[in-house]
Amino acid sequence: MLRVLLFVATNFAIVTVLYIVLSIFGLTAQTGPGLVIMALLLGFGGSMVSLFLSKWMAKRSMGVQIIEQPQTPFEQWLFEVVQRQSEASGIRMPEVGIFDQPDPNAFATGWNRNDALVAVSTGLLQHMSRDEVEAVVGHEISHVANGDMVTLALIQGVLNTFVIILARIIGGIVDSALRGNDDQGGVGIGYFVVSIIAEIVLGFLASIIVMWFSRYREFRADAGGARLAGREQMIAALRALQRVHEPHDLPAGEFAAFGISGGIGDGLKKLFASHPPLDERIAALESARG
């Protein structure tokens, strides 16, 4: 749940900054075409800024050490695996990195499929065999090749736009009702208060759609990992994750969404999970054997 709250908060913070900038230049509006234009600028601006900054943020927030020149036999092997799989997927080789985390995990991020980053945790290297690590890398390379990062940003941009428009419509309706016969045009303080509250609530609900897409494309990435490294190796990698009792989430935002594992909740919490249950992912791969 904390991961989802942070995910929503990150988008809200970027949109807020953009709103302040637009306000300075007098480009904000409460109704009509001006509202739609403002919502588009804020909505897609927020998601695009997050996308373009994703690799920079990942390196710093996760402490990713980029492998510029492999220093050990294992780094050389990992570098060659990424190179081979990216060539097989028809994409430019991503940057390769390692971050210090005891749990087995990995993620891919970047603003396009030819300028990406694939990073694995130290825990992944400690808990998995080379065949399993290769399957995990294939899973992340598939995220990049499928353009999942860009698609997720576009979906978030559309949702941000609708959230901004609906929040201000709700704010206008409530503000008008509160002022009643005293309405002399313009908007009152109620408009701004209600709009902010509505934007937070609607943004939280919109994250359900984002997480649904995240879960959907995990199955596609698993299938891609199976093609690149072998189906049995991909299944073995997912079972290795089960053996460590559901590793902790990555930090919020696109890093969690593009990790090999993610938090699994029950009931309503499951709506906000970035990844499907590992049992379902394994079953999907096993059913494709035939």
Q: Give the burial class of 177: count Cβ atoms within 10 A of its Cβ; 0-12 exposed, 13-18 middle, 19 or more buried.
A: exposed
Q: What letter would DSSP give residue 252?
A: T
Residue 132: active-site member: no
Q: Which of 132, 134, 140, 218 is catalytic?
A: 140
Taking each helix axis as running N to C, give the angle between helix 148-179 and helix 32-61, from 0 to 180 degrees, rounded to the nearest 10. Answer: 130
* Rounded Cα–Cα distance for residues 17 and 86 (Å): 36
* Rounded Cα–Cα distance for residues 21 and 14 (Å): 11
Taking each helix axis as running N to C, give the angle between helix 130-145 and helix 231-243, from 0 to 180 degrees, rounded to the nearest 10. Answer: 110
Classified as helix, coil or strand, 253 is coil
Longest dimension (CA), the chain: 77
Taking each helix axis as running N to C, give the angle between helix 189-229 and helix 278-287, from 0 to 180 degrees, rounded to the nearest 10. Answer: 40
Contact indicator for 239, 98 with CB cutoff of 8 Å: no
* Rounded Cα–Cα distance for residues 90 and 84 (Å): 10
Cβ contacts of residue 11 below 8 Å, gap of 6+?
Answer: 46, 47, 50, 156, 160, 203
Catalytic residue numbers? Answer: 140
